[in-house]
Structures are given as structure tokens and as C-alpha cells.
Structure 1
């Protein structure tokens, strides 16, 4: 692991509350890079647990909730006796700490998804268990209707909290040994008292003051965890939900006016743009726009660059708290007309907080030690490497790390890969090489030539960062449209013929994804995603520099009636799009890649009640006008 700032010493709980004494936990993943897991491990240690680095030394295996049994099976094989240990998810120690007692791990809420069920007990053992539980067998079962209403709660041991935690630990271990002697297969679970009762029937403990519980509660309340985040955008938006932290960045203001709910007016909802924009609207990033070199001219450009690198590192580990903090700080610095040099100056600005000291360190020393430590962290490097593979996201990258994979060769030889991931690995270098602007144009011209032969009335427009004027792009977005069309189904035959022809010619090399929709399709219409290779005859540079590089290409069908909205969406950038969509929502409208809709009603949880009435779809400038946003040319849409 890379170097890290020295942590504060553990604040051990009083002896009577060290419920994990004599127990040892092995975490999967067994690291504390993730801040939530780091806090969980710390709190467990403060309550007596020993955090062990080897699986065979553990009494309990604590598994990240995102992982399934299949994900951890390979790692469990490192210890032949793992089945004798307690296998639970990360909620188990949290509940133990919260209620200050060892809870029964043999409950469904602590199970790892996909864990094989233990073999059935022998008949003689079953009979013995009935004899041991004579009284319990005479209890009346609650009615099914009533039991369904009963909230699920952790089942706790009925031992008094004043009892020694060490005695509890000894009971757990001795119970486990007794089960082993009986020949029970599967996970050895501790025996609990027969008179166990649900938490709801136990005396309430109102002194839930531990830091871990507070942390989890804050995560649920603010939506900063990927487990508890709430969607604030359209559920049919292909770009995905807009989270709370992004809204604060997009509104670009610390004023309380931004947090005041906007009063919907029927006139605005119907798209009447007459009159002056309200003050809160002027604070949206889409109202300001920006060019691709605007950051270079900012007096805080160098500071922003380093903070952005630190943000990228936190993104690798899914650190939602710090991701939000850095986004807000960067957005604030971009609005400053003078260079911020000291921590005192930084603290006077909104949304800076503890990052103020880092800003001063960057300005004073031209470096950030925390960033250097993060860049040296081998685990972060591995996750960053895996995320460069086409078809791999955060969850998959972390699963592979948890399974013990460390290199691309590990994945090629041992991992279970889907088709796209295999392509991503085989052509890793090609697909991670940026495409020069001239080559983007040459690739598009090849498609246009073939398209003109099939149907000369079809128009092809290059979208993405190319349309914004970027010097290079990660892939090519080609928007296919035709006058007089009102649905993608009218363009689907053309797409099929185009793909077949380009494939036969060797231009298209492989299809990674294809979707053919109809007029009522809710999945973004028809599109084709795959790879292509530029012919040597079309290469814009010297022939000596040519080599057949695989490039990512997306061909998207857009009917003329939706072209304006699609151009906004497929031009970007992402921050500009999210800002203008949020603005539409604040005005009681809805903007997606098909059009701008008015009279949109939303119910509880921001869920759409109706689709709304189409206000505009074909004219890009008209959509800006209805929303009251000054027209921005594509090269003026570099934001964030």
C-alpha cells in the first residue's frame, strides 16, 4: 500500500462494550482504501476485534455488500477451513456495534448472495435438535398476515450487556467447535440462546451515539453513497440519474435562494420565454457556457488541475464524500477572477472547507503530497488499469481486485470475461489511444461515401467532443438523420444496409452492441456500437505512419423531428447537458435526447406521473430559447 497520512490512535471502547474481544475479522476486500470500509474497520477494532491480514487467522469473514459468493469464491479457497468461519456481509458488524451485542449471523440480511446452502443434517441429529428444543416446538406460530407486517430486525443474544464480552467470544468459539464435532457442513454458526427475541421486543437503547451509525445515517440522508443515492432526473434518461452532489455543482452557488423550491408557473411550463429570467437561473452553468481553453486562462488553472487529479483518484475508489467535496471546490475556483493563494482566502469562499489547506499547499509548493501518495498506491493503479478496459465499470473493476486479479494477463488467463471485455483486453492499446481530429474526419468520410450510395438524402453529422472543437476524441459519434422522418423505424433499414456494406468492405470490424427500436421505443431509438479500422488509402498522414488501429464508433439514428434535442445531447459536454436538463426540470419541463416537454407532473420521489407535452424537438436553437438560455455554439459548451 502507498504512504498515507498517519491516522489518529484508536479510541478503545470501555471494556464492557468491547463485544468483539477475542474475535478476528478478515475483510473482502481486505483493505481500508474505501472511506466507509475504513471507518467500519476502525470502529470494529475499537470494540475489540483484531483485523487480520490472512484468511486462515480469521474467525469471521466480512464481505462487501456489492460482492456475491461467485466473486469471492476464488479468494475463499486460500483457506481450506473457511467453511468453519462465520461468513457475513458488512451489515453484520455494524448492527453488532449499534446494539452493543453479538447478533445472530444466521439471518438472511447478513447472507452473501449466491452462497450455497448447507447440506441437510443427518436424521439422528435432527431428532436430537427436536429433543433439545421441546419447549420451542410447542409455541404457536403467528398468523402469516401478522408476521408479514412485522419489521425485520437483527436477532440478538439475550445475555445481559453487563456480561463480559470475552465470555461471549468463548461461547461463540466453543459452539463452533461443537458443531464441527457433530459433522455439520457449511458455515459454522454460533449457537444462540433458545429464548432469543427480536430487537423490537427488547428494551430500547436510545444512546446510539457511535460514529459509524452517524456516518451511515448521514449517507442515507444526503444520498452521497452509491448505496443510498437518489435519482433527481428522468428515469428514462440514457445518461443516467443526476445526483444531489452534481446539482450543487451545476447550480454553482451557495446562496440559499438556490435551495428554495421554484414556484411553477403555467406560462413557463408551456414554454413562454418572454420576460426576464429569474435570478436563480443566471447561476446555472449552462447560462455561462465555456470554451475548451477557458480553464487555461483561469488564474487558478494550475490549482484546479491538481485538484482534478485528486478527484480522479477518489473516483477510482468510489469515495463519494470526497468526490462531492472536490467537485464543489473546483466549481467554486473556476468562478474566481483572482488567484486564491492562502488557506484563509480559500475558506472565505463557499464549498471549500477542508480543501483550503490543500489549495495553499499546491500554490506554495507546486505539489500535493496526498496526490503523490495516491498515485503510488498499487491498489488504485490496478483499479485504474482495469477501468481502461472497454466494457468494465467501477463495480466490475473492484470485483476483480477482490478476486485477487492484479494484471491484464491475470484477467486474460483466469477471469470470466464477456465478449466485450475480451475485445477490450485484446485491443487494449488501440481502444485507449486518442483519435486525432483529422482521423475522425477521415473515418466519417468513409461512412458518408457508403451512405450516399445507399441513400443520398441521408445526412451524417459528427457529434461528441469533435463537434465542440476538440483536438482529439475517444471515439466517433455519427448521427444519422433524414428530412421528413419522424421515427427511428423509418431509418432502421438504412442502418442495416449501411452496417452490412461497411462490414463486407472491412471498415467495420466487430459489433459490440446493436439496438433496433421503433416509434414507441423508450431505449434511445436505433443505434450500432462497434469498432472500425481506417483504410490505408484514406489515412490523412504519411503512409509510413499508417497502421490499422481499431477505433470505437457509434452510429445513432435520429429522426428529423428529434434532431435538435439529439444534437444538444450528443454534443455535450456532460456538465453542460446535466445543467440544462436540471434547469428544464426546475421549470416544470423535461429535456432528453428526444425533445423538450412541458406540463410534466412528478409525484413522490420525483417520479414522473406523465410524459408531458412536446414543446420542441427538431430545432436546437428553439429549445435554448424556450428555456431562456442564451444560444451557445457547440464550441462554447465546455463546462465544469
Structure 2
């Protein structure tokens, strides 16, 4: 991935920015222009510029940037005097996500996006001068993602979702798109208005609306302010009404008036850069271990799973999402969500604070807690060592699970009636396995005839090399920790839901609806009409593993690492 030097170490751009930089590089552009954190940056591809990232409105502020090894040769060709040659750079990432990044959309080797004037719209399908049709889909996807992010910043999640859906359809389209009307007929999620935008981009190399949005001070201000955790569109607009248009002013005003921001917003502003920094897997493993020590020592001991991108085997995560349960907390109380829920989160958070791991509590309830956490200095120093990554781990899981037996089937087994979650649950879920999985992180599985416990290896060291290991300027970064207490009967469904990805969850929910069922973080339910005509939901019995949920829906099981659609 493309990366930029921060705090003396190279860190990768996020997936969407990386995708768009690659698209500009493939198009033979001299540079890409991206908007990050309310600022516009120029990513130079030219050796004469020392191949650096520059702040557009202050070119003296630069950072070294590094391209993937796969494009080194292409960059070398440019260094030898062939800047117009289309480079053989890697294809844009298929996992591009929402970002505030905007990129030069021309594909013509020039400045493109960010230049003045909107340009006249030519005939549909007429390419902008010098544009390479093979990069059309990457440029269209970049445009749609930027539109989605713009709508998201303005608080219109419906329009943002439509643009995200269209961007995904474009990304997966097998051939170059050359006509918006044709795309509207072939691609789900591309309608008349999006087709018109595609034609405008293809014929002029840019989109007039994005040109205006990029130069709009109000939109840029909303984007900056909403970087702070706890500040949404309404809070950002309220701050604007008070004359606060940027983070610098917000910091100064918040320092002068401690009542300006809520407790969550104050912490979000204090730890803004740390919260925005991606967490490498090596650090995630140590953060997980710190929570697990407290969960194991808790009375009663709490079983836990770190979900999200970590469980899907990703090299980086945004925060630490932890699910917790214990067999004695079997089901949601009938007299309300909070009533009857054990007070375990309070005692667990108290223990984490006493150990120094949790430095602040953002919010604390019976079922959910949001905290700020940080590795101890010695743990952080250990991460700075080149040999700090742990050795490959082995997770043993049961070769067979007997429903409702109520007895442990040996080490690593899981009893599925919530009578005993077992050691395997605590060990395996955090390493990317389901409640009782014989599948490896890469999705492989033993033959169906395999009997007895299966051992699956996950080599954490495969994530080493070239990424920030959580270092701040002088110590460990502050990270966001979200804890959720879940009843045992909902645990498998919750693990499935919070593991993601969002697209995978949506696809499973669609299958459930088609079968007259409902799937949520609380479980899998049959749905029928009662005698009074109202819908009645009844939990499907035996849904104590992810595999059981897949099977009930008639779907082939997918390991967590296979759930990025």
C-alpha cells in the first residue's frame, strides 16, 4: 500500500485514499490530489519532487511518502524521462471504504480535480482528452466515494448509502464503463442521476458539483469538526453558529470555556490524532491480552471476543470492540433491557482502571461501556523491538460438537446449551475462529471426514514489516475501547454481527427475510402473524454457534476472513 511518514515511521493511507492514489498513478498522472482531515494534499509521483506528500496551500510542509514495491519499477521509468507513459501499477484496492479523500479524477496526467471551472459536459461516453479508458472504473468509484463522504458529512446517510452502493457496483464491474446510460442498465444502484454524473466525469474529467464542494468553506468546516468523536452534524452546525469553523479555533475556545463540549467530545478532541490512527495487529494482540487478563480475573470470569476487522484477520483496526458473556447470564431479562442485567461491566471497568489500562471512561451502562485505553510503557517499548511480534499461535477446536450435551467434550470443546462456553471460546474467537470452527483464517478447512480435534495455525508474523506499531510521539497511543455485555443465548449472533463486514451482514439478513425469518445481533428468529395480526418473533432454538446460524439459513459457512464482500 502507499504510505506516508508520520512520527518517523511509514504508515499506510486508508483503503479508500490508497485506492484513489493508485487510480491516479495508473492513469499516468503526475500527482494525485487528496483531501484528508480537512486539508488538501498533493501526492507527487515525480522524482524531481522527491516523491513527497505536500500540503497544497503551503508547499513548504511536506512529508516523505512511499509507494508499494510493485510500482517501484514504474516510478523508475518516470525517473528516466518517460513521465507520460502509463505505469503498470497495481489495481485499485477492492476493499476501498468511505474516506474524506478526494483525488484528481482526470486520468490525463494533469492537475484535473481542484482546478477552477466546471467545464461543459460533452456527449455521453466522449472521453476527456488524454484519459485512459482502462482507468474509468477507478475514477468513477473515486468520484462516487467522495460524493458519499460529502453527503455523510452533511448528515444525509440515505444519499451517502446510495453512493456507496453505486461505488461498490462500479468496483465489481468486470469491464471499463464508457457510458453512463449503459451503466444504469447494467449496474444495480446506478440510476439516472448517477449516470449523468458518470457521463460528466468521463467527458470532462471532473464533476462540477465536487469542484464546488471542495471549495466550500462550510463543508470543509463540517468535515473538520466531525473528526472529533461525539460531534455529529447537529453539534458541528451548532459550533459553526458560534463562529467555530476549524479545529484550531475549537481547541482554543474549549480551553477557554470548559462547558463548550460534552465529556465525550472533550475526550475526542484531546485524543483526536490517536483515535484516528489505525491500530496495527501487533498492538491489537496486546490490547486484547490486557482486557482478557481482567476478564479472566473477574468474578465470575467473563468470556470475551474481540470482533470487527481484527477478527476478520486484518492488519489494522480502528478501535477495540469487545463482546463479553458468562453462562449464568443466559438470556435477556423479560422485564426490560437493563433490569436484571448483571453489574459486571462496572466491576470490569473498575479493574481495568485500577490496572492503569483504562485512562478514562467515556460512558458506562449496564450493557455497554466506552473507554479510553492505553498500553503500559513497557508493553509499548516491547512493540518497538523488531522481534516483538508473537510466535505463530495454534488454536485447537473440537472435531465435533454435540448439541445440548451439557458436558465438555475435552479441551477446546464447546457445549452449545450455554451450560459451559469452555476454554476454546475464550481462546479461539479472538484469533478469527467461530464458536466451534475447524476453518483457518484463510478459509481452509479439513476434509468433512476428518475426525477428532483439528489444529489450525495463524501466523501473526505475516503482518510484520513496514507499519506503525502504535507509537505516538513519545509513548503508546490512546485507543478507544468499546465493551458490550451479551446474554449467552445471543452470543453467537452478536459475534457474527459485530465481526462484520457490513455488506456480509446485509447479505445474511436478506437471506433471512426471504425465508420468513429475522437475523439481528440478538439472534435468529422465525416471524409469523399472531392472532391479533401483529408480527410475532420467536427465537430459533440451537443457535449457539455461527455455523448453526449459517446452516439454518441454508448458507455455506464462511470463516471470518472470508466475510469482506
TM-score by length of 2: 0.53
Name the structure 2 match of 1:388. Answer: 227
Deviation, 1:354, is 2.9
Question: Which whole-Å deviations, capped at 9, do the CAs of 1:146-170 have from their partners, x for residues lacking one?
Answer: xxxxxxxxxxxxxxxxxxxxxxxxx
Cα distance in structure 1, aligned partners of 2:137 and 2:203: 13
Cα distance in structure 2, aligned partners of 1:318 and 1:454: 41
Deviation, 1:459, is 2.8
Deviation, 1:419, is 1.4
Q: What is the aligned counterpart of 1:562 among 479, 490, 493?
A: 490
Cα distance in structure 1, aligned partners of 2:281 and 2:492: 24
Seen in structure 2, the aligned counterparts of structure 1 residues 448 and 574 have a Cα distance that, compared at 3 Å, is same
1:536 aligns to 2:377 (yes or no): yes
Q: Is the 8 A contact 1:332 1:349 kept in 2?
A: no
Residue ranges of structure 1 left out of the alignment (5+ in a row): 1-291, 517-525
Q: What is the aligned counterpart of 2:363 among 508, 513, 520?
A: 513
Cα distance in structure 1, aligned partners of 2:526 and 2:271: 45
For residues 477-626 of structure 1, the aligned pairs below 5 Å read 477-483=321-327, 485-487=329-331, 492=342, 494-516=344-366, 526-539=367-380, 540-542=382-384, 547-601=475-529, 609-626=535-552
Q: Is the 8 A contact 2:214 2:220 kept in 1?
A: yes
For residues 100-499 of structure 1, the aligned pairs below 5 Å read 293=94, 300-319=137-156, 322-323=159-160, 325-350=162-187, 351-360=190-199, 362=201, 367-408=206-247, 409-410=249-250, 412=254, 413=256, 416-454=260-298, 458-483=302-327, 485-487=329-331, 492=342, 494-499=344-349
| Higher helix proportion | 1
Q: Is the 8 A contact 1:591 1:597 kept in 2?
A: yes
Seen in structure 2, the aligned counterparts of structure 1 residues 319 and 497 have a Cα distance that, compared at 3 Å, is closer
Residue ranges of structure 2 left out of the alignment (5+ in a row): 1-92, 98-133, 334-339, 386-470
Per the alignment, in what secondary structure is the counterpart of residue 173 of structure 2? coil
Cα distance in structure 2, aligned partners of 1:376 and 1:455: 56
Over alpha carbons, which structure has the higher Rg?
1
Q: Is the 8 A contact 2:527 2:535 kept in 1?
A: no
Cα distance in structure 2, aligned partners of 1:603 and 1:313: 47
Cα distance in structure 2, aligned partners of 1:616 and 1:402: 54
Cα RMSD after superposing both structures = 3.5
Deviation, 1:608, is 6.2
| Higher strand proportion | 2
Deviation, 1:611, is 3.6
Seen in structure 2, the aligned counterparts of structure 1 residues 582 and 515 have a Cα distance that, compared at 3 Å, is farther
Deviation, 1:470, is 2.5
Q: Is the 8 A contact 2:152 2:160 kept in 1?
A: yes
Cα distance in structure 2, aligned partners of 1:494 and 1:348: 54
Q: Is the 8 A contact 1:511 1:531 kept in 2?
A: yes
Per the alignment, in what secondary structure is the counterpart of residue 260 of structure 2? coil
Cα distance in structure 1, aligned partners of 2:349 and 2:209: 49
Seen in structure 2, the aligned counterparts of structure 1 residues 577 and 437 have a Cα distance that, compared at 3 Å, is same
Cα distance in structure 2, aligned partners of 1:530 and 1:298: 43
Deviation, 1:597, is 0.9
Q: Is the 8 A contact 1:512 1:530 kept in 2?
A: yes
Q: More relative contact order in 1 or in 2 (CA 8 Å, sep 6+)?
A: 1
Q: Is the 8 A contact 2:181 2:192 kept in 1?
A: no
Question: Which whole-Å deviations, capped at 9, do the CAs of 1:127-178 have from their partners, x for residues lacking one?
Answer: xxxxxxxxxxxxxxxxxxxxxxxxxxxxxxxxxxxxxxxxxxxxxxxxxxxx
Cα distance in structure 1, aligned partners of 2:306 and 2:540: 26
Cα distance in structure 1, aligned partners of 2:220 and 2:177: 31
Deviation, 1:494, is 4.5
Seen in structure 2, the aligned counterparts of structure 1 residues 616 and 316 have a Cα distance that, compared at 3 Å, is farther
TM-score by length of 1: 0.47
Deviation, 1:552, is 0.4
